[in-house]
Amino acid sequence: MSTFDPDPPAPAVGGNPADQLITIKRFLADRQPAGATGNLTGLLYDIALAGKLISSKTRRAGLTDMLGRSGVTNVQGEEQKSLDVYADQVIAGLLGKSGKVCALVSEEQPEVTVFEDGGPYVVTCDPLDGSSNIDANVSIGTIFGVFRRHDPDNGPTTEDWLRPGSDLVAAGYLLYSTSTMLVYSAGDGVHAFTLDPEAGEFLLTWSDLEFPEDPSYYSFNLAASAHWERGVERFVDWANRDDTPTMSQRYIGSAVSDFHRNLLHGGIFAYPGTDEEPAGKLRLLYEGAPLAYLAEQAGGRGSDSRESLLDLVPTDIHQRTPVFVGARGLVERLEAFVAGPDGD
């Protein structure tokens, strides 16, 4: 992982400090594989633009009418916040006009949005994940995944979006927190950019991020532990022992924030299934699979406690799944406890 000097970069001798600032546009262009059409690069840049617009609204939510509820309940049965609606509209509007996207799966829309004369990609997204935290000014995020459509000459069909995360060609998230970050992978490592609000540019902060070997956190909502399958409880018991890696329990209640902190400092995020909701709360297509893709690109793993989230084929665009994602060693240990003699 190449680190970003938090101090303003010293001017290269006789050089220009700007030479040390790598914008996302320049990074995407530098990393674009030979022979690429530039469509994926352009799509990622459009997503970065959506992130700037959403960031601007979230930063001022308390000063405008954006904090409140929209009065609309989405397909999940969750009451949409005004910022949810805004984020969904921005993403659909930008991607719909990009000429790069033929279909969009959004948490906020009951059905897939198909764009006429769309381009080669299908995007899945949670426009604003963690929105239940908005009123409390807790960090929230946008999660996205990108598939390449199967047949560019015929209208997109369900086979273009009801597919395993192993088909993803890119995935990432925006994190709206003390700063706004964009973290993505297009199959060549995980890279993180910080928005400079004055310049209006995402600047490279870390490239080729990997989960640290020594884990520091486990992110489970322990209040629900009585309802988990036994193996998950046994993992938490193991994590709390004195003779295992010393980890702190941190749970923000915003998957992007929990994932991001664990990516930087080492750890595992979990939203297990329960006896009442065996599939858990998070959705496979636009939460579990994109986070699992990023985890795998950073040397980690994403699982439903038995198999990789990237191997699951959804039958419905809003299908839920248990999610255990983060450092590979911790996820595999969790799976071993679940598979163990009295795992269930």
Taking the complex as a whole, how short is the minimal distance between the CB of residue 102 and ligand P6P, in angstroms?
A: 27
| 221 belongs to the binding site for ligand P6P (CB under 6 A) | yes
Q: Considering the rule CB under 6 A, would residue 20 count as an interface residue with ligand P6P?
A: no
* Amino acid residing at 268: I
Nearer to ligand P6P, 187 or 253 (CB): 253
Q: Which stretch binds ligand P6P (CB under 6 A): 55-63, 67-75, 128-136, 210-218?
A: 128-136
**Nearest one of 26, 82, 21 to 205, comparing CA atoms:** 21
Part in contact with ligand P6P (CB under 6 A); list of ranges 127-135, 200-208, 242-250, 335-343? 127-135
Shortest approach of ligand P6P to residue 112 CB, angstroms?
20
Q: Which of 261, 281, 301, 328 binds ligand P6P (CB under 6 A)?
A: 281
Q: Are 170 and 44 in contact (CB under 8 A)?
A: yes
Nearest Cα neighbor of 148 from 115, 174, 124, 179 is 124
Nearest to ligand P6P of 98, 142 (CB atom): 142
Residues of this chain, 227-266, that bind ligand P6P according to CB under 6 A:
253-255
What span, in angstroms and rounded, lies between the C-alpha atoms of 343 and 235?
Answer: 10
Q: Is 216 in the site for ligand P6P (CB under 6 A)?
A: no
Minimum separation from the CB atom of position 279 to ligand P6P (A): 13
> Among all residues, whose Cβ is closest to ligand P6P?
255
**Under 8 Å between Cβ of 134 and 61:** yes
Residue 251 C-beta: closest distance to ligand P6P, Å: 7
Beta-carbon contacts of 139 under 8 Å, excluding residues fewer than 6 positions away, are 130, 133, 175, 176, 177, 178, 252, 254, 256, 257
Q: What is the rounded distance in angstroms from the CA atom of residue 70 to the CA atom of residue 63?
A: 16
Which one of residues 271, 286, 324, 337 is an interface residue with ligand P6P (CB under 6 A)? Answer: 271
Tokens of 89: 């509209």
Cβ(219)–Cβ(268) below 8 Å: yes
* Rounded least distance, CB 67 to ligand P6P, Å: 16
Task: For the CB of residue 83, give the shortest distance to ligand P6P in the complex, in Å.
Answer: 13
The full length of the chain comes to 344
- If we measure between CA atoms, which residue out of 193, 91, 102 comes closest to residue 149? 102
Contact 220, 237 (CB under 8 A): no
Of 130, 267, 273, 280, the one binding ligand P6P (CB under 6 A) is: 130
Distance CA 118, CA 103 (A): 7
**132 forms part of the interface with ligand P6P (CB under 6 A):** yes
**Sequence-ordered list of residues with C-beta below 8 angstroms from that of 77, at least 6 positions apart, any chain:** none
CB nearer ligand P6P, residue 105 or residue 255 = 255
286: buried, middle or exposed (CB in 10 Å: 19+, 13-18, 0-12)?
buried
Residue 250 CB, shortest distance to ligand P6P, in Å, is 12
Indicate which single residue of 84, 88, 108, 129 sits in contact with ligand P6P (rule: CB under 6 A). Answer: 129
Q: How far is the CB of 141 from ligand P6P (least distance, A)?
A: 8
Q: Contact region for ligand P6P (CB under 6 A) — 56-64, 124-132, 238-246, 333-341?
A: 124-132
Which pair of tokens denotes residue 336?
């071993």
* 118 lies in the binding site for ligand P6P (CB under 6 A): no
Residues forming the site for ligand P6P (CB under 6 A): 129-130, 132, 221, 253-255, 271, 281-282
